[in-house]
Amino acid sequence: MHTVFPHAVRRASQPAISIVVPAYNEAAGLDAFHLRLAGALADLESWEVIYIDDGSADATLAAMEALHRADDRVAVLSLSRNFGKEIAIAAGLDHAAGDAVVVIDADLQDPPEVIPELIACWRAGFDMVYAQRRSRAGETWLKRLTASAFYRLMHRMGDLKLPRDTGDFRLMSRRVVEAVRQLREQHRFMKGLFAWVGYPTTCVRYDRQPRRTGFSKWSYWKLWNLALEGITGFTVMPLKCATYAGLAVALLSMLYVAEVLVKTLVIGNPVAGYPSLMSVVLFLGGVQLMFLGVIGEYLGRVFNETKRRPLYLVERYKPSAVKLSV
Ligand code: UDP
Ligand code: MG
């Protein structure tokens, strides 16, 4: 169930590119970003950029609207509040009309100069071209460590193969965009959705830059929650773990019962101690609560999805003047 946007007539000659840029409190760096983007795409005949203001509290929207006035390739989409990057990207994809769509961060960590390479791969026939980080300059060892642990875990648990060291920086062909637009789940783990869609995929490697201005909005708590979205969105493995943990505990307890029986029959009945009782009760209580929590994670998501709320609300939309609609 998604909104259908009016489309103009396509100009047959030149395949057009839409660039989708989610931004939250990026006022300081937006002009510099746009300059570099325009420079990197100077050779392209027809492209538009859709800036999505994800409910920023600073002057981001004003900066975007200034760009919209100055450059007719700029579209501005302002969301009614902060919905988070994943949903901001979904909003951008809904409004992008290009034959190919590139998603890129506004903080210049994804160099716009890579976009022509992505486009070249798309022209060569690939539907999905993701940019893979060769280095992660400006990121702490803890972030690298947790990131790599997460990718390993996802590889192990899911049927889905997530490409390592990729973000949302990528190019999608029209049919991939249409496929992703059909996935209207509230709990969005974009990397997973992109991987779920499939189609011929390739990658271009690049060096990730440190942030130019502002600061990352990703605290470790948010990253942890993103990891939970990734896991719960694409695998029910944690639910199965409860079954096997229960089975293991039941088997062990049978062994223990046998031991108690033998001891009682052979040595008589010395009353087993309070400490062992306590440890068993506490251990089992802990395991049960933990799996109750795991079930809760899934149940909460089921609850949220059943409400079928729209993904986002638009406060304002100013389309670009470029006619590149399908
Ligand atoms: N972003 C957004 N909404 C949010 C958080 C971030 O649109 O709630 C945008 C942000 O402006 C940037 C991109 O998503 O363009 C990546 O965010 P950030 O740089 O904070 O993440 P990191 O690069 O550390 O992964
Ligand atoms: Mg960043």
For 206-247, the pLDDT digits (tens) are: 877 666 666 666 778 888 888 888 888 778 788 888 888 888
How far is it, in rounded angstroms, from Cα 154 to Cα 248?
Answer: 24
Residue closest via CA to ligand 1's atom 24 equals 216
Q: Whose CA is nearest to atom 16 of ligand 1?
A: 105
- Which distant-in-sequence residues (6+ apart) come within 8 Å of 319 by Cβ? 75, 95
3-state SS of the chain: helix, strand, coil percent to 5?
Answer: 50, 15, 35
CA proximity to 173, closest of 127, 114, 115: 127
Q: Tokens 């489309």 label which residue? A: 7
**Most confident stretch, 87-96, 144-153, 294-303:** 87-96
- Encode pLDDT of 122-147 as tens digits: 989 899 998 888 766 666 788 778 88
User: Concatenated DSSP letters for 40-98?
Assistant: HTTT-SSEEEEEEE-S-SSTHHHHHHHHHHH-TTEEEEEESS---HHHHHHHHHHH--S
Q: Does the beta carbon of 22 sit less than 6 angstroms from any atom of ligand 1?
A: yes
* Count of other CB atoms within 10 angstroms of residue 180: 21
Helix axes 190-197, 174-182, angle to 10 degrees: 120
Quick check: CB of 214 below 6 Å from ligand 1? no
What predicted TM-score, i.e. pTM, was given to this entire model?
Answer: 0.75
Whole-angstrom distance, CA of residue 112 vs CA of residue 192: 23
